[in-house]
Structure 1
Amino acid sequence: MKKYACLLLFAIMLNGCDDGDLVPEIIDFEGIDPKSCDTETNELIYKLKPQEALILQLEEGTFDDVAGEKEISINETGLPQLVYRTFDGIISSSNICDAIRPTSPNVINEAKAIGGKITIKTTPNESEPAADGSTKINGFNHSINMSNVSYLITGGTQVQPDFYFGVLKTSTYTSPVVSFTATNAAQCNQTQLYNYSANTSMIIDDLDPLLIQNTETTEPRKSTITATQNKIVFNTYKTASITANYFCKTPRPTTPEIDETWKAVIDGVIEVVTTKLDNTNYKHVITLKSVELINSGGLKFKLATTFVFGEIITQ
């Protein structure tokens, strides 16, 4: 961030005496997508025309992985900074992002915003359903709008009409992979099941007691996910150290530490098919149908339309 701050300050010092009149119609970057100098931090984003640049510098972490809307005020000092520049030749991203910028073209005019409001609306970039019906969250779309932006010009200030800066797409976030070995599934009691991998787990609480019975099925037993029955929780963990010893304990262990928690949206269905293995043992295959998971931030993704939770053996 210090690098970018120095670049903007250097340019302002070079051009502080050239505050030529700013005509609002000149600042028109409609239809040009914003780009980022660093896709990890997204501190400095910009829009380019052949000899013009509109540069927005923000605090690191402004574009976070949380759906919602935020407003940020532009002030004369500190961040964010919004700067408009014109050049005496054709420019590229190196004129904005490089630590040592090209010696040409030169900045011939610069106007720095001293007031206004930035509104950022963040929505997840959810994939189209795959062949199995599953979806993924592949980053976020950050829609940026500017309002009441005032620029310092010769003789005072000038306010530009509200305008749409554009959408910045970030891809540092991907929804977790939900995949289990069927035979890892187990039963704590009649109303609680679990399955796990090294760094994920899925627990079904308040299972409909009619689903697991030692009677062969001719048709799958079915029960709907509700707010009080068949509650499904999927967790990811910060370390890959989950074993069967983690489950069936009250309270549940605090280690390994949970990274993310997702819950099943109501109206999905749990199906169980039971077959008799021998005189005493029955195998129950548990399948989730049309289940969608949601986290506390409102992010959602869908499991495969038919997702095998696992299989358990009872006597």
Structure 2
Amino acid sequence: MKRVLSLLVFVLVLNGCDDGNLIQEDINFETANMQNCSTNNIIYKLKEKEALLVEIPETSFTTEPSLSKTPTIIEINTTNRVVYRFYASNVSSDNICETIPPATPIVTDQWNATDGKIEIFTTAIKTTNTTDNSTKITGYKHNIVFKNITFAKNNGTQVYETFPFGEYEKSITPLPFLFDKTVEKCSTSNQIYNYTSSEALMLTIDPNLIVNEVTPLNSPRTGIIGTTTNVLTYRLFTGGVLTGDYFCNTTTPITPTMSQEWNGVTGVTGTSGIVEVTTTTNGPGSFKHTIVLKKVTLKKGNNDFLLGDNFIYGDLLTTN
């Protein structure tokens, strides 16, 4: 009898020492798809009667790829929220994104994250044209991981040192690059340019490449993209229509508004960033200079893309 009583007392003592932190319940959304609400800043995963919700500003998902080991870090608090929710029956996206939540299914329990960090590692999504090896950025992939996240539960807390939430992808409209092949040149400088109503591709070209002499067959004049000569710049504009008046000015006009600027990466002779000019006659005393950019990369911040093996910049017409 004494032994039985002692065992009962021992069990009661163990139960009395449980502060809630010892009970670990598995959170597993590895196979669930990432979704987002169009009307608010919630991204989420659903699994039958469970939902894992993250509410952070849209600006958290940058279009600047992360450098190695330098993700975007967001502190979890009452504004940047992570919530694990349980429902009485199966849940769908309609139950998450409505301004006024539906009456069903009923929420039966909810864990709120009270501490920790959200780490977001961003990479560009690129598509490759297999014909010319050019690439386009079509979106960004954001890998989201919770670090040292603490969930407050009814019976205590639950902590995860590292909790992978998943990858959130956002599509973008690729740069248009709708240039025709007619190139113009400033009369007072070595700048040549091609443009549409919303974009410009400018090249401060080495004057030795534009000579009114026919080049031998298969022997074009060549140079490489640099920082002082053969400087290549792409600009995308918003809030106005780009015209030829924008170019050849001492001071860059403030309109239309420039939204993006990409710069050519310095080339390597015989390998990349090559400017190639082939000159032919275009009538008496007239010449056509066909300019091709070979294996040229354009870069903005940590972003870059390839113009391809042979990007035809266009034809520049000159006369003696």
Compute the TM-score of the two structures, normalised by the length of structure 1. Answer: 0.84
Q: Are residue 298 (structure 1) and residue 302 (structure 2) matched?
A: yes
Preserved CA contact (<8 Å) 2:240 2:255:
no
Could you give the per-residue CA deviations for residues 93-148 of structure 1, whole angstroms, max 9, x where no partner exists?
12222234343332211111111111011111111334232211111111100011
For residues 247 and 261 of structure 1, what CA distance do their matches in structure 2 show? 15
**Aligned structure 1 segments of 4 or more residues deviating by more than 6 angstroms:** none
Task: Return the letter of the residue paired with 1:56.
Answer: V
Match of 2:4 in 1: none
For residues 246 and 59 of structure 1, what CA distance do their matches in structure 2 show? 36
Cα deviation, residue 187, structure 1: 4.1
The CA RMSD over aligned residues, in Å, is 2.2
Q: Are residue 284 (structure 1) and residue 289 (structure 2) matched?
A: yes
Preserved CA contact (<8 Å) 2:224 2:275:
yes
For residues 138 and 22 of structure 1, what CA distance do their matches in structure 2 show? 46
For residues 153 and 220 of structure 2, what CA distance do their matches in structure 1 show? 74
Q: Are residue 252 (structure 1) and residue 252 (structure 2) matched?
A: yes
Could you give the per-residue CA deviations for residues 55-105 of structure 1, whole angstroms, max 9, x where no partner exists?
111123222322222111112xx3111111112222211222223434333
For residues 262 and 201 of structure 1, what CA distance do their matches in structure 2 show? 11
Partner secondary structure for residue 266 of structure 1: coil
Among 71, 74, 80, the residue aligned to 1:72: 74
For residues 231 and 196 of structure 2, what CA distance do their matches in structure 1 show? 19
Task: Return the letter of the residue paired with 1:123.
Answer: T
Q: Are residue 266 (structure 1) and residue 270 (structure 2) matched?
A: no
Preserved CA contact (<8 Å) 1:190 1:209:
no
Partner secondary structure for residue 96 of structure 2: helix
Q: Are residue 275 (structure 1) and residue 280 (structure 2) matched?
A: yes
Question: Over alpha carbons, which structure has the higher Rg?
Answer: 2
Cα deviation, residue 23, structure 1: 4.7
Could you give the per-residue CA deviations for residues 184-233 of structure 1, whole angstroms, max 9, x where no partner exists?
4334456321111111111112x222211111011211111123321101
For residues 208 and 184 of structure 1, what CA distance do their matches in structure 2 show? 15
Q: How many residues align?
A: 289
Preserved CA contact (<8 Å) 1:185 1:310:
no
Match of 1:6 in 2: none
For 1:122-161, list aligned pairs within 5 A. 122-154=122-154, 156-161=156-161
- Tell me, which stretches of 5 or more residues in structure 1 are unaligned? 1-19
> Matched residues, percent identical?
36
For 1:5-44, list aligned pairs within 5 A. 23-38=23-38, 43-44=41-42
